[in-house]
Chains A and B, each alone.
Chain A
């Protein structure tokens, strides 16, 4: 039986003893002290810090133990099945980690003379070419730090394009389907656009009639995920592209689900002008519990001029950073991108090659459809939207019958799954599915693990129909039982830092 560690580890601010140290900073050499003088005198009185920060005082031993214990109260891909839909929780190869720890990358400064960083520039240059080939785009920019950051850049490129054509006053809207990730409308808004939502049809795809009605002279572009968040391929993509392009809009591809179609079909070939890539979702880089990721953006030839500076270029002899791009949108962050993440992706693509990437797509899709076939037979879970159509990388089930019959919600199913040492699927997304359980197995898990998951979902259904208590009281085997998430956000109880907690505790 699965049992997650329960260390009852206190908040670090409660640990330690005055005088303990976990790390000694390098000493200031005597000669330097003599020349430079007393550091206490360097700053005028009014600029000096008077009260030391209330950081804990711990030995190295205690710090390591504390965080090792915390790590044991966390769940990752290396521990087991992680079918978190839309997040593509793949295996993160160890060789990529090993390479990323090399001082030849960790100890590089971004402003070093280009002649001293030819290796990393070559890696970045080639990676962007490979990503352009994989996505069917003309040019790829590696600068965005994460998927949503790439989306923001994509929307900014739409803005720059309309601006250059003197159409920004007119082109004020971005269209997104109601099944889209929340980041799409949020990114469009950040780039100054108004968001128009189009409903999905009975097959879970963009409703062409609704799209035609939504498109107008105000349309700057459409943001689309394909395969969409239900795992269904938008087969009318050609008509969708035509409708948007005819209105003078651009087509933006959300790369959340690129894993399913690697080597099969390329967004650029489907008519997308701007293509987004989630490096951690597709190229096996670790998500680190919330980043660092990387969100490159590929564009058509026409849009290349808008990409952020610098562009990594090759003059036939050496790699260089090119800032001479007058139409560029400028910078969206410091320096050139999350290089340590990109380096892992480069090694990943080398380890797989064209055949391997296609194999990834095929097996991830096979795994998803295998789960679908088995799960749709279990009482209480239903597959809404076009049950006859194959899914790609993920399938979205609804637990609404289970809810209606036994008061067991998708949330409860998710919590009960945790009790079996498996991470829960994404819940309550996409918004068009009631009591959604969004399941994405990826290519990284063996059939035995998938079968175990099927058994677990079956067992939960049986438990729910027998007496729902066990499911409603879950989880019991995790480091904590159900947490009160409302309390965490309530103005009266909210504690967003240790300091805030102490202040509230006093009152």
Chain B
């Protein structure tokens, strides 16, 4: 017995209750229940952890620790690159705090879990509507792992070993993809881009595609924020070579940019975080995974999928997990993936978010973002020596900012901005050295004109300081 005072989280930690229960079990002390653990392995000391604290103390210490952070609310921040600042409506926050949803497990017993099952079915349906696809699963961990799974799925379907990826790809997506495909014996091959527009180099694509190609993967908008305009041609190239076409999306763009189903996508992956989920220092995120209504594709899909059904007496429509025979708890080593827990509650948040926005809200969101990003690019371009964007292509919410013609490096500009309580974009000099002193900036609906103006003023000051 280690404690005399009952802990608030442990109802049976009252000494008398424990005594009574031990009597029923037929033991004198709890240690008897651990008697089968070899003594030599037993921990003979206490764990070396801080003393237990009261709730009030925990709160004070945590708040103190967290106050060492400067958030995107403390300084105008222009970071994106796979995790983006978007507003999360209060209604979304309220719904996902409903403890019936929050404290539930995977809906193995559908009759008592209809609420979550229906919410996830609705999420799948909304993802299908915005991407144009017909089937979606109820989430992957994030965009990067969704891409890894999509590539493996393409290889299973085609029995081929190579995946063509754009050279302009998020380095973390590329790295994760690599981790996922390497053990399956797959290789990724990068396809170069046009240095003027950033667009995928179709000539290079044609030389690299072969009977080994399982899939072509593109991102739209691309990692560097511009929109890939040759999507039809790329799709055709994939399908002419009997490869799959995988498209990665930022869903906030799908109110304004053509949905991937319209240009031949077989699998759509993406990051659902911007749909009603906070950034949370990069996690949890929400991996979108959708495909065409094709029996072969569906059978090879990874992840949980919720399906519509009826009660056994057929009196009511209800929901349950479908196609579980693809999954690890049934199929074990032959499963399409090992995933079980995913990001279900984040998916519910996204369903609530999309329900709030509706078709017109999603379009308005896209237009607002594009207007603000365009304004930011124009404003920054006016600063002597600054080029934004680098590529001659239409952009969505992110864009490159190049400092080659200024006398400062990206890092120096960043330091200067921080002094003005502005956090600039992501430094690309290591990822894409060929782009010179370039950073990736992001503007969303959360940035006001004042925020953008402040960025421009701070940047101008910073760059002029260099000259003085």
Contact = CB atoms under 8 A, between A and B. Distances in A.
A108 B72 CA distance: 6
A291 B139 contact: yes
Contacts of A24: 361, 364
Interface in A372-396: 372-374, 389-390, 392
A180 to B, nearest CB: 9
B466 interface: no
A337 B25 CA distance: 41
Contacts of B364: 24-25
Interface stretch (A91-99, A206-214, A242-250): A91-99
B77 A109 contact: yes
A11 B104 CA distance: 21
Given A39-B367, A52-B363, A330-B179, A288 B394 contact: no
Contacts of A115: 418
A455 B52 CA distance: 36
Interface in B316-358: 316-325, 327-335, 337-346, 348, 351-358
B414 interface: yes
A192 B184 contact: yes
Contacts of A338: 280, 283-284
Interface in A386-424: 389-390, 392, 414-415, 418, 423-424
A302 interface: no
Interface in A24-58: 24-29, 31-33, 35-37, 39-40, 42-44, 46-50, 52-58
B145 A333 contact: yes
Interface in A251-284: 261-266, 269-270, 280, 284
Contacts of B356: 21-23, 58, 60, 63
B352 A67 contact: yes
A334 B173 contact: yes
Contacts of A453: none
B109 A424 contact: yes
Nearest to B88: A106
A117 B79 CA distance: 14
A120 to B, nearest CB: 5
A149 to B, nearest CB: 6
A360 B30 CA distance: 12
A99 B363 CA distance: 34
A75 B333 contact: no
A107 interface: yes
Contacts of A190: 152, 180, 183-184, 337-338
A35 to B, nearest CB: 5
Interface stretch (B8-16, B209-217, B235-243, B398-406): B8-16
B175 A497 contact: no
Interface stretch (B160-168, B190-198, B383-391, B441-449): B441-449
Contacts of B104: 74-77, 287-289
A212 B386 CA distance: 68
A410 to B, nearest CB: 12
Interface stretch (B34-42, B200-208, B457-465): B34-42
12 contacts: A33-B371, A36-B372, A149-B141, A289-B106, A291-B343, A340-B278, A363-B18, A483-B320, A488-B307, A488-B309, A488-B319, A496-B305
Given A35-B375, A55-B359, A362-B2, 10 more contacts: A39-B366, A67-B355, A79-B99, A109-B83, A237-B38, A288-B101, A292-B343, A423-B105, A484-B310, A497-B134
